[in-house]
Structure 1
Amino acid sequence: MGRLLQLAVTFFQIGLFSIGGGYAIIPLIQEQVVERFAWVSQKTFTDIITISQMTPGPLAVNTSTFIGIQIAGIPGAVLATFGCVISGISISAFLYRLFQRYHKSEYIMEILNGLKAASLGLIISAALTILLLSFTGTSVISEIKTADWTAAVIFLCSFFVLRKWKANPVAVMIGTGIVGGVIYTLF
């Protein structure tokens, strides 16, 4: 299978199983593009996730686009993005029809409750993956001993400032960028 077709199929499958949204999909994308196909390194994947979070638009779409560009340029970006999005559109159209028809069904409501629980688990997994990637450069929990504790302290301080004083997130990002630049440049 050609690389472009493989890219489209992979992101179609990722989009098909992306219950829970952008953050829930990160471990699935990582498993495919870093571990299974080795299209990008763990470091590149971490950089792509960071850029995807700062770029306007849905995280899954941005990540698909950036990975597609890394792998096969503009055609790769188009196919990865299309593959990721078309499955969600198809599922949404199907579910809309289903819920219109069975919106009072107790079984459908129970299925939704199960999907909510699964989504929460995927989001928590994504949050842990992002934290591990940020502090260790890998998503392997056993690598916690190699964590960048300076980055962890900066994270905790910024988290505290955001929660305690409801500071502007952009100002906190700029401030932590300056603090990180000074610390990592001097030490």
Structure 2
Amino acid sequence: MIYLNLFINFFKIGLFTFGGGYAMIPMIQELVLSNKWMDTKQMVDFIAISETTPGPLAINMSTYVGYEVAGIPGAICSTFAVALPSFIVIILVAGAYKKFKDNKVVVAVMNGIKPAVVGLVGAAVLSVAGNVFTVGNSVSKILTSDNLISLIIVITSAVMAIKKKNPVIIICIGALLGIILKFAESIIM
């Protein structure tokens, strides 16, 4: 039964989410937290792990959740389910899009989808940021040394991303900054 649950939920996520893995984060987060498969901290950690490992974010996230919930068979089930809708849709749409790409309705649909995806990505950023920059459920403890380190890494990463630096370099520098700043903090304290 858990495999069917994983398959149906990840198939729906794959089917109804446009914009890739970042746009899927809120839906996966809702699924995971509502089923109590992980807590919020584990969720943030698994997003970070999924982002830093090779491959598409949505595949990494679904594989990780499936594995946590039902081991290797769960990972296979979730991964297959999240990828299947894209495969089916691409096969069906590829030929039709070329024929209808200048159609006013198709252009209008695409113009509506693009900002919706930006909104979903923004919601994912705010959701993850809210969990990164708070301690427990307390907003009053937002200015901790860990959060200051995180803020420095966020700002550095954003500046590098705006300057079109390679994402692998940004991730490696973020990891290096985390190590350096945490090490420096332990020496000072």
Q: Structure 2: which amino acid aligns with 1:13?
A: K
* C-alpha distance in structure 2 between counterparts of 1:133 and 1:180, whole Å: 20
Q: Structure 2: which amino acid aligns with 1:175?
A: L
Aligned to 2:140: 145
- Please say if residues 46 and 137 of structure 1, whose CA atoms lie closer than 8 Å, have aligned partners that are also in contact: no
Alignment RMSD: 2.6
* 2:71 is aligned with 1:73: yes
Q: Structure 1: which amino acid aligns with 2:90?
A: S
Q: How far off its partner does 1:161 sit?
A: 6.2
**What secondary structure does 2:133 align onto?**
helix
- Please say if residues 149 and 178 of structure 2, whose CA atoms lie closer than 8 Å, have aligned partners that are also in contact: no
Q: How far off its partner does 1:151 sit?
A: 3.4
* C-alpha distance in structure 2 between counterparts of 1:81 and 1:114, whole Å: 28
Tell me which stretches of 4 or more aligned residues in structure 1 moved more than 6 Å: none
**What secondary structure does 1:136 align onto?**
coil
Aligned to 1:175: 176
Aligned to 2:152: 154
Q: How far off its partner does 1:95 sit?
A: 2.1
- Please say if residues 68 and 74 of structure 1, whose CA atoms lie closer than 8 Å, have aligned partners that are also in contact: yes
Aligned to 2:7: 8
Q: What per-residue deviation string (whole Å, max 9, x for no partner) do you get for residues 73-98 of structure 1? A: 00000000011000111122222233
- Please say if residues 149 and 182 of structure 2, whose CA atoms lie closer than 8 Å, have aligned partners that are also in contact: no
* C-alpha distance in structure 2 between counterparts of 1:171 and 1:37, whole Å: 33
- TM-score by length of structure 2 reads 0.84
Mark the runs of 5 or more structure 2 residues left unpaired by the alignment: none
Mark the runs of 5 or more structure 1 residues left unpaired by the alignment: none
What fraction of aligned residue pairs are identical, expressed as a percent? 33
**What secondary structure does 2:148 align onto?**
helix
Q: When the two structures are aligned, how many residues end up with a matched partner? A: 182
